[in-house]
């Protein structure tokens, strides 16, 4: 598979310490979103991250609601601890996220003009990226910019940035990030791109239109992140997803899987049956992407069912715990982890 796609070193692979680059290492690095306290307080959690991951990303910490409790205060406690852990153990850390419509502190609702929005956006990126310049080498600069049901006249999701700056906020964020850290890899991240639905097809089109426009105007953008919060009750459009990724690849853009999990509230209760179904869906998603290019990374949104956002929104009707991630609540490997290992290593062949 690798021979057909080229042998250039991936950005993450190049960044890993020399001792980590063993012949058995996967061609595609794997990572997981992490919660800060368990990294230091739960030895089993720490071991799971170190046993399986080359990348971490903070599940929280770099979102505005965490960083900016007040307009004039930046609280870097969480990301500083996450990055210290990564650097101590030879891992990469991705930055998530600089600009998002969600997880915003209440004070941002008082932003009242384009001038004020521009000032807050630019000064936030200058402060955050400046603090981690050269240490965090990949950023989800704009997270989830595409509307859930995009139309020709309204492809971009509503947000404080869209309301005051229009879609130009995306270009402003990318150019500002590039100016502060010219070596950083800049990513736009979104979800539901894989779905075989009218809204999924519309999101793919709106996303491609946005990327083409940015590229045509030489806006700095290096890769697209496909989140992959997969719903097994909604079919994956394999050909549509592969074609979407192929178009990104043809434009010279990289592709990352950034937030993979399988939302299992619609799946049968028996654990073995459910775990097999979760793994099968993850495999279908990854293979559809891999048919077009070699992803730069595969990152799951958490590593263990012990720590997952899924029950907050998708509690199972039978009362059983959700099982959306590669390791179970006791940090034991599930079939999904084997799928990820097989996929990331297949590009060595």
| CATH number assigned to the domain comprising residue 198 | 3.20.20.80
* Residue 50 belongs to some domain of the structure: yes
* Residue 12 belongs to some domain of the structure: no
Catalytic hit among 92, 120, 259, 296:
259
Distance CA 280, CA 285 (A): 9
- State the residue for tokens 């426009």: 213
- DSSP category for residue 110: G
Distance CA 80, CA 76 (A): 6
* Residue 3 belongs to some domain of the structure: no
* Residue 11 belongs to some domain of the structure: no
341 is known as an active-site residue: no
* Residue 1 belongs to some domain of the structure: no
**Contact of 32 with 299, CB cutoff 8 Å:** yes
- Per-residue pLDDT, 25: 64
pTM of the model: 0.93
- Per-residue pLDDT, 20: 39
* Residue 119 belongs to some domain of the structure: yes
Distance CA 343, CA 241 (A): 17
Distance CA 260, CA 209 (A): 24
- Per-residue pLDDT, 348: 80
Range list of H helices, 58-100? 64-67, 77-88
Integer distance in angstroms from the first to the last C-alpha of the chain? 6
Helix or strand run (H / E) with residue 286:
helix 271-290
Q: 139: which 2 tokens?
A: 């950023």
92 is known as an active-site residue: no
Distance CA 48, CA 328 (A): 11
| Residue-wise burial string across 190-208, b where 16 or more C-beta atoms lie within 10 A, e elsewhere | bbbbbbeeeebebbbebbb
| Residue-wise burial string across 157-179, b where 16 or more C-beta atoms lie within 10 A, e elsewhere | bebbbbebbeeebbbbbbbbbbe
Distance CA 220, CA 121 (A): 17
* Residue 267 belongs to some domain of the structure: yes
Domain count within the chain:
1
Q: 349: which 2 tokens?
A: 């062949």
* Residue 235 belongs to some domain of the structure: yes
**Contact of 191 with 241, CB cutoff 8 Å:** no
Domain that holds residue 101: 26-346
Q: 346: which 2 tokens?
A: 């297949």
How confident is the prediction along the chain (349 residues), in pLDDT tens digits per residue?
333 333 333 454 444 433 333 335 679 999 999 999 999 999 999 999 999 999 999 999 999 999 999 999 999 999 999 999 999 999 999 999 999 999 999 999 999 999 999 999 999 999 999 999 999 999 999 999 999 999 999 999 999 999 999 999 999 999 999 999 999 999 999 999 999 999 999 999 999 999 999 999 999 999 999 999 999 999 999 999 999 999 999 999 999 999 999 999 999 999 999 999 999 999 999 999 999 999 999 999 999 999 999 999 999 999 999 999 999 999 999 999 999 999 999 998 6
DSSP lists the bridge partners of residue 83 as none
């Amino acid at each position: 598979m690798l021979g057909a796609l080229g042998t250039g070193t991936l950005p993450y692979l190049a960044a890993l310490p020399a001792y980590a680059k063993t012949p058995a290492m996967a061609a595609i690095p794997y990572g997981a979103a992490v919660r800060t306290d368990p990294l230091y307080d739960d030895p089993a959690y720490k071991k799971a991250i170190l046993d399986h991951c080359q990348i971490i990303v903070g599940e929280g910490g770099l979102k505005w609601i965490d960083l900016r409790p007040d307009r004039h205060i930046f609280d870097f406690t969480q990301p500083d601890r996450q990055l210290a852990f990564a650097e101590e153990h030879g891992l990469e850390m991705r930055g998530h996220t600089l600009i998002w419509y969600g997880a915003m502190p209440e004070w941002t609702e008082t932003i009242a003009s384009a001038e004020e929005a521009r000032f807050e956006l630019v000064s936030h990126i200058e402060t955050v990226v400046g603090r981690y310049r050269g240490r965090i080498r990949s950023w989800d600069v704009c997270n989830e910019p595409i509307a859930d049901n995009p139309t020709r006249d309204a492809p971009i999701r509503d947000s404080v940035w869209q309301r005051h700056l229009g879609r130009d906020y995306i270009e402003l964020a990318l150019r500002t990030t590039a100016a502060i850290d010219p070596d950083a890899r800049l990513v736009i991240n979104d979800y539901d791109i894989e779905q075989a639905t009218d809204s999924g097809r519309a999101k793919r089109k709106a996303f491609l239109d946005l990327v083409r426009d940015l590229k045509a105007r030489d806006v700095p953008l290096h890769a697209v992140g496909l989140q992959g919060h997969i719903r097994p009750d909604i079919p994956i459009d394999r050909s549509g997803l592969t074609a979407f990724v192929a178009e990104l690849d043809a434009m010279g853009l990289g592709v990352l899987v950034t937030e993979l999990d399988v939302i299992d509230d619609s799946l049968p209760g028996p654990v073995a049956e459910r775990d097999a179904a979760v793994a099968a869906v993850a495999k279908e998603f990854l293979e559809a992407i891999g048919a077009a290019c070699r992803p730069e990374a595969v990152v799951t949104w958490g590593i263990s069912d012990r720590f997952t956002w899924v029950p907050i929104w998708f509690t199972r009707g039978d009362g059983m715990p959700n099982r959306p991630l590669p390791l179970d609540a006791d940090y034991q490997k599930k079939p999904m982890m084997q799928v990820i290992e097989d996929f990331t290593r297949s590009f060595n062949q």
